[in-house]
Every structure is written in C-alpha cells, then in structure tokens.
Structure 1
Amino acid sequence: MVTLLIGKKGTGKTKKLIALANEAVAASSGNVVVIEKGSKLTYDVTHKARLIDTEQYLVEGYDMLYGFISGICAGNYDVTDILVDSTFKICPEALEGLEAFTKKLQELSETSSTNIVLLISASEEDIPESINAVCQQV
C-alpha cells in the first residue's frame, strides 16, 4: 500500500512521518527503512530503523528514486515499511511526475508486500484525483 502524507510546509508532516516510522519499527517483524535528503532525522527516528540519505547515493528524480526503492525491496525480502521524507526535494519534478511514480510504487508495494509512505509538500487540492484513487492519505 502506498500512503501519502500531504500538507504544505510547516504543517507537521515530518513529525507525523517520524511517529509513523517509530510505530512501524515497534509493530514490524522485519525491517523499516526511512529515506531522506540530508541527514536531519538521525536523532528523531529510532536506531532500529535504517536511515538512508539519498545525497550519499546521488539519487535525484522519480526514476532514480523508484529504482532505489526497488533495489531496497529486491535486496532485502524482509523490508516491511519504506518511508520517504521530502519527496519533492529528492524529485524536483514535483507534481509533474507524481502520478506515474505513485502508480509504479503501488505495483511494487503489492509485489513486494511493502508499505510505502511518501511525504508530499503540497496542498490536497493540488493532488490529482487519479492519485487519490491509487493511494491512501494520512
């Protein structure tokens, strides 16, 4: 399942993402991965989650992020949750490529049995209805 955490800047999305990551670690019998741009969540997310900084791997754009997430799922079969902070900072295409990206992620989520959460900095009105049909919102 793909879940979108949507809201404008300053609405507490990152705090929700941190809470979701820590809850996922407590409930998961596998691994939880948090993907971020920069290493700002180091002290907020429990050490039991795997924190990955996309800047270390030069990940930029939806295609690269999709390949990166696919590689995580392919390389480790016990990943139960992947949470992505600041999706639009990693993918400067922003809303332009979001629909195709979420559709591909939904398929990946189903085949790999992995919950994926994306933090989206936009207002709910800006999100196309077709994305809402594919993804759940928090």
Structure 2
Amino acid sequence: MITFITGKKGSGKTKKLIEGANAAVASSKGNVVVIEKGLKLTYDVDHAARLIDIEAYGIKGAEALFGFISGICAGNYDVTDIFVDSTLKIMGPDLQQLIPFAEKVNALAAMANTNITCLISADKADIPDGVRQYITEV
C-alpha cells in the first residue's frame, strides 16, 4: 500500500513520518527503511530502521526514485515499510508526475507486500485528482 502524507511546510509531516517509522520498527517482523534528503533524521528515527541519504546516490527525478525504491524491495525480501521524506525535492516540483509515480509505486508495494509512505510538501487542493486516493493529510 502507498500513502502520501501531504501538507504545507511546517505542518508536521516529518513528525508524522518519524512516529510512523518508529511504530513500524516496534511492530515489524522485517526491515524498515527511511529515505531522506540529507541527514536530518539520524537522531529521531529508531536506530533499528535503515536510514538512507538519497543524496549520496545521486537520485533525482521520479523515475530514478521509483527505481531506487524498486531496488530496495528487490534486494531485501523482508522490507515491510519504506518511508520517503522530501519526495518533491527528490522528484522535482511538477505535481503531475505524481500520477504515474503513484501508480507504479502502488503496484510495487502490492507485489512486494510493503507499505510505502511518501511525504509531499503541498496542500491537498494542489495534488492531482489521480493521486488523492492515496493521501493522508497532517
């Protein structure tokens, strides 16, 4: 299953991601992965989660992010949860690219039996219609 947590900057999205990641670590019988842009969550997310600084891998754009997430799922069959912070900073500001990205990631999540949560810094009203079914607002 894929979930987009949306809200404007400062609305509490990252706090919700941290809470979700720590809850997943506590309940998961597999691995929890947190993808971030920079190293700002190091002390907030439980050490049992795998933190990945996406900048270290040169990932930019929706296709590259999808491929990166696919590689995580392919490389480790017991990843139960993936959290992506700063999704639009990784993908780029074009909200229309969320539609094909959401479709591909949702199919991947179902195939890999993985929960994937992405943070989107945008108001729900600005999100394209084809993506709204995946939204949880802060």
With normalisation by structure 1, the TM-score equals: 0.96
List 4+ stretches of structure 1 deviating above 4 A.
none
Give distance in 2, aligned partners of 1:12 and 1:48. 23
* Kept after mapping to 1: 8 A contact 2:124/2:132: no
The DSSP-based 3-state class of the residue aligned with 1:110 is helix
* Kept after mapping to 2: 8 A contact 1:61/1:93: no
The DSSP-based 3-state class of the residue aligned with 2:25 is helix
Indicate the percent of aligned positions where both proteins have the same amino acid.
59
Q: Choose 72-81 or 92-101, whichever is displaced more.
A: 92-101
Give, in angstroms, the shift of residue 125 of structure 1.
Answer: 0.3
Q: Which amino acid aligns with 2:40?
A: K
Give distance in 1, aligned partners of 2:46 and 2:94. 29
Q: Which residue of 2 aligns with 1:94?
A: 94
Give distance in 2, aligned partners of 1:94 and 1:40. 24
* Kept after mapping to 1: 8 A contact 2:7/2:123: yes
**Superposition RMSD on alpha carbons, in Å?**
1.0
Q: Which residue of 1 aligns with 2:82?
A: 82
Q: Deviations over 1:40-88 (max 9, x none)?
A: 0000001000000011100111000000000000000000000000101
**Alignment gaps of 5+ in structure 2:** none
The DSSP-based 3-state class of the residue aligned with 1:44 is coil
Number of residue pairs the alignment of both structures matches: 137
Give distance in 2, aligned partners of 1:59 and 1:88. 12
- Indicate yes or no: 2:124 matched with 1:124: yes
Q: Which residue of 2 aligns with 1:137?
A: 136
Q: Which residue of 2 aligns with 1:42?
A: 42
**Alignment gaps of 5+ in structure 1:** none
